[in-house]
Chains A and B, each alone.
Chain A
Amino acid sequence: MNKLVIAGREFNSRLFIGTGKFGANSVMRQAAEAAHCELVTVALRRVDLRRGAPEDPLISHLDPEKVLIVPNTSGARNAEEAIRIARIARAGGGFDWVKLEVTPDHNHLLPDPIETLKAAETLVKDGFNVLPYINADPVLARRLEEVGTVAVMPLGAPIGTNRGLRMRDMIEIIIEQARVPVVVDAGLGMPSHAAEAIEMGADAVLVNTAIATAADPVRMASAFALAVQAAELACDAGAREESRTAQASSPLTGFLWEEGEAEG
């Protein structure tokens, strides 16, 4: 496969990791290292005033030389809030990449397409590299590309469900149509799901819950990394999917060989 490039930046690994739900920041760091991960997402939250700023802040565990830190706008329920969070993240750490997540739906954490598009337009104009998290909607993906997002991130299945590529058919269409990298995010529960996404043609995958909540997150991170590498190797080796097989039907080209009638 060609090298993964997003917004002009090269990545050696197609496995991105979300840093939420880990028991401890040190475990998160080890998992990211085990996966040779080069992009992680982080979130922003109000400081708990009773506790003060954490003694073991997340950011201190991440080496910005080795890994790109991408804040997400989780918690935003509309475009305005998402834009605000992105700007806060930039002010706080100079991050000009943002994973745009606008999820007013608390039950399934599904993203709002309209607010996402609105926010994307503003944030792109504001100089952000925007990676929007969306339902696997091919037309929405194109609209976001048009306003200038540097990638699109369709969900495989709702966050945390670990169900794999439920949205497979739509993701295939997005991959076919997209002119920016496609990062399948959310719902990838097993390394094989990640491999499947890459084999389908996705440029990268983002995994959080499956790794963070595994009994051994560091090992699970390795497993995902190996699965992604396996898929890349397979693509390089020329693997292609089986298409729907033929059903026998009467011959269509026989007329070309009928004597005296075919031309040329």
Chain B
Amino acid sequence: MIDIIVNGENRQVDEGQTVAGLLEDLRIVPERVVVELNGTILKRACFPDTALPAEARVEIIQFVGGG
């Protein structure tokens, strides 16, 4: 297990867990969000291939109403 931070919250995931896998665990549809990993925006196509490193900072962002 490794420690990561997702949207500011501590979380533990299996070593080698991918971004796509993380989203699935969180019941988040990949097409509806943008993912930033350690400050870099990830292309959606790369979600299945990107493994989460230890102490990764992940931001999962969606569009909402705003002025």
Residue ranges of A at the interface with B (Cβ–Cβ < 8 Å): 18-22, 25, 28, 41-47, 49, 52-54, 57-59, 71-72, 74, 84, 87-89, 91-93, 159, 185-186, 206, 208-209, 212
Contacts and interface: CB of A to CB of B under 8 A. Distances in A.
A42 B66 contact: yes
A25 B23 CA distance: 24
Given A49-B9, A52-B26, A87-B41, A43 B64 contact: yes
A87 B65 CA distance: 18
B contact residues, range: 20 to 34
Interface of B: 6-9, 26-29, 32-34, 36, 41-43, 59-67
A88 B61 contact: yes
B44 to A, nearest CB: 8
Interface of A is mostly: mixed
Contact of B32 (A41, A46, A59): A59
Given A49-B26, A53-B29, A53-B32, A41 B7 contact: no
B66 A53 contact: no
16 contacts: A18-B65, A19-B67, A21-B67, A25-B65, A44-B61, A45-B62, A47-B7, A47-B26, A47-B60, A49-B6, A53-B29, A74-B66, A91-B34, A92-B63, A159-B67, A209-B67
Nearest to A206: B67
Contacts of B32: 53-54, 57, 59
A185 B67 CA distance: 9
Contacts, number: 103
Contact of A59 (B41, B42, B63, B66): B63
A133 B29 CA distance: 32
Given A71-B66, A89-B34, A206-B67, 16 more contacts: A18-B67, A21-B65, A42-B63, A43-B66, A44-B61, A46-B59, A47-B28, A52-B27, A53-B29, A57-B63, A58-B64, A72-B66, A74-B67, A92-B61, A92-B63, A208-B67
Contacts of B9: 49
B62 A54 contact: yes
Contacts of B27: 52-53
Contacts of A93: 63
A44 B28 contact: no
